[in-house]
Chain A
Amino acid sequence: MTTVRDGTTLQSSVRRWLHHRRGLLIATGLMVLFPFVVSLVVDGQGISAVFANDEGNARFLQGLAIEIFILALYALSYDLILGVTGLLSFGHAMFFAVGAYTFGIMLKTAELAWPTALLVVLAVAILQALLFGVVLPRVKGIAFALITLGIASMFWIVIQSSDLSDYAGAEIGLQGIPAPARFLDSTNERFVFYLITLAILVMVYMLYTRIADSPLGKVANAIRDNEDRALMLGFNTFWFKLVVLVIASITAALAGTIHTIHQPIVTPNVASLGYTVTALLVILIGGVGTISGAIVGAAVFRLLQYYLDRWFGGSSDLLIGAAYVLLVLYLPYGIVGTWRVKRLQIADGRKRLAALFRS
């Protein structure tokens, strides 16, 4: 037996990890099975239909799920800077759009191989986080929000300019982006791409929960609570905020990259203020600062949007607005946040109920 640490065996630490992550493992397993279940039950087709990427509900719902995964990745990155660190940025859509546009332009115009294009996205993502970082030590709170809004608005205008239309496609955006590889092709290899996107989301989620529990995450929490106090404990808070921005920027750019592969078009919409508000709504629905709330929120947001639009058509916007008002009124900490608050009360109530039946 291999001894890892403190005399614990490898087996027992694996068992502990499995136990600790059981919710995530079950959810991931269900998501892997999901297309097969839909194919069998809804479409009345066999399992092979999923591997063959046949038309049907299974294929369509995988596409919808991929959109949810992308939105979840994007919202996770926003939760890290807003929920965990307390930095209010109104320029978050730019983090996503820069990834989407860079990857698209690298494939289409520069005709790079996808690993190289991905490295370019990584470099650009780090650079833009540093750009936001330049203003970090000077402004806080609303002033930071407004400056980030300004930077992102400039970007939004620049990508729509006709001077750059050969690269960014002006108002129409990027179209005709080639599939980066045979397995990175949402049209012809839907199931493989679905699994890849799911795997990326699960890995990023695990990384984010690790960060939130790490000393970096605790100092980020301290900065959110009161930056002066964090300074007075001797932390150079600037570096902590910069690291958080870099991680969030890379994550959002990765989400943008997957978006480009999946669609495969990029419109200027993803750089607009509206898309930043989308991230904000998603984490408000899921629960600000909860990490897992970003994924729950993304699912609720996208499904509400899709089904309300399908059932009610033009009046769906009104209903979506009403749904948000209800969510905020009755779930003030978001779905995951409220669950965490109420969990103890629910457990307590269940115990009292059981005692009532026993007597």
Chain B
Amino acid sequence: MSLLRLDEVHTFIGQYHILEGVSLDVPAGDIVALLGRNGAGKTTTLKTILGLTPARKGTVQLDGQDITLRRSFDIANMGIGYVPEHRAIFADLSVEENLRIAERNKGDLAEREELIFGLFPDLKRLIRLPGTNLSGGQQQMLAVARALVPDNRLLLIDEPSEGLAPVIIEQMMEAITRLSEHSTVLLVEQNFIVAGRLAQHYVIIEEGKSVKAGSMADLVDDDETIKRYLGAA
């Protein structure tokens, strides 16, 4: 049973036809990796799901409900959390304020404190510091932690390992594995090793089209597909 389904989605940014037919299925409870080269349309796919760059053709369904033309904040309130790329925290707010602002209902943070600080013990120590004073890795942790505060059914995570030190990447992977016990994850990831270890399924996007999808276990052994679409071995 798929939680999220995109069917032949076309998205334009200004006059540019960015997505030219993206279809994908995200089964409830799993991690799906969205793969593809730079500029293939991975981030735009996430933004289309969220209504930030709405689809002009095709449909986006969440749990069987059509959300294609809903407004962004409505879509977010249906239980989708978004971790944008480049450590998207609120720089002027403290760690605590960054987390508290994500509460959908009062007490969300208190309820998930244990989970969040269990995953990222650093954040508890830095709770009063403004976001801008955190290191890159800590900011990325905060961005992921923020998506965990409300009760989200689906998390969209964009490039969580980008620009992080290997030891922090390990910690981030551990966190994503643990949080996938609570919600379904659609992951954009350039680092194929990271994606391969985390996800059960993959979807490859090439020049705005979804061209291949399947089980991650099959892709890991499929050198030809990896070389052809991802340019790595």
Contacts and interface: CB of A to CB of B under 8 A. Distances in A.
Given A221-B92, A222-B93, A232 B77 contact: no
A234 B73 contact: yes
Contacts, number: 51
Contact of A222 (B77, B84, B101): B101
B82 A232 contact: yes
A235 B92 contact: no
Interface in A219-238: 219, 221-222, 224-226, 228-229, 231-237
A224 B84 CA distance: 17
Contact of A232 (B76, B91, B92, B97): B76
Contacts of A231: 52, 72-73, 76
Given A218-B93, A218-B101, A229-B90, A234 B82 contact: no
Contacts of A235: 73
Contact of A225 (B84, B90, B102, B150): B90
Interface string B145-176: 01000100000000000000000000000000
Nearest to A289: B92
A91 B152 CA distance: 41
A222 B90 contact: yes
Interface residues of B, number: 22
Interface residues of A, number: 18
A154 B81 CA distance: 43
Nearest to B150: A234
B89 to A, nearest CB: 8
A234 B90 contact: no
A33 B71 CA distance: 55
Given A218-B97, A222-B101, A236 B90 contact: no
Given A218-B101, A232-B73, A233-B146, 5 more contacts: A228-B72, A231-B76, A232-B50, A234-B150, A236-B71
A215 B77 CA distance: 18
B88 A229 contact: yes
Nearest to A228: B52
B104 interface: yes
Interface string B69-83: 001110011000110
A232 B83 CA distance: 9
Contact of A234 (B52, B88, B97, B104): B104
Contacts of A222: 90, 93, 101
A6 to B, nearest CB: 16
A233 B74 CA distance: 10
Contacts of B84: 228-229, 232
B44 to A, nearest CB: 13
A222 B101 CA distance: 9
B91 A233 contact: no
A226 B104 CA distance: 19
A233 B102 contact: yes
Interface string B34-53: 00000000000000001010
Contacts of B100: 218
B140 to A, nearest CB: 14
A215 B109 CA distance: 15
A232 B52 CA distance: 9
A224 B73 CA distance: 17
A225 B101 contact: no
30 contacts: A218-B93, A218-B101, A221-B90, A221-B93, A222-B90, A222-B93, A224-B92, A225-B91, A226-B90, A228-B72, A228-B84, A229-B88, A229-B90, A231-B73, A231-B76, A232-B50, A232-B72, A232-B73, A232-B76, A232-B82, A232-B84, A233-B101, A233-B102, A233-B146, A234-B77, A234-B104, A235-B73, A236-B71, A237-B73, A289-B92
Interface in A182-237: 215, 218-219, 221-222, 224-226, 228-229, 231-237
Contacts of A234: 73, 76-77, 104, 150
Contacts of A218: 93, 97, 100-101
Contacts of B102: 233
B76 to A, nearest CB: 4
A236 B104 CA distance: 12
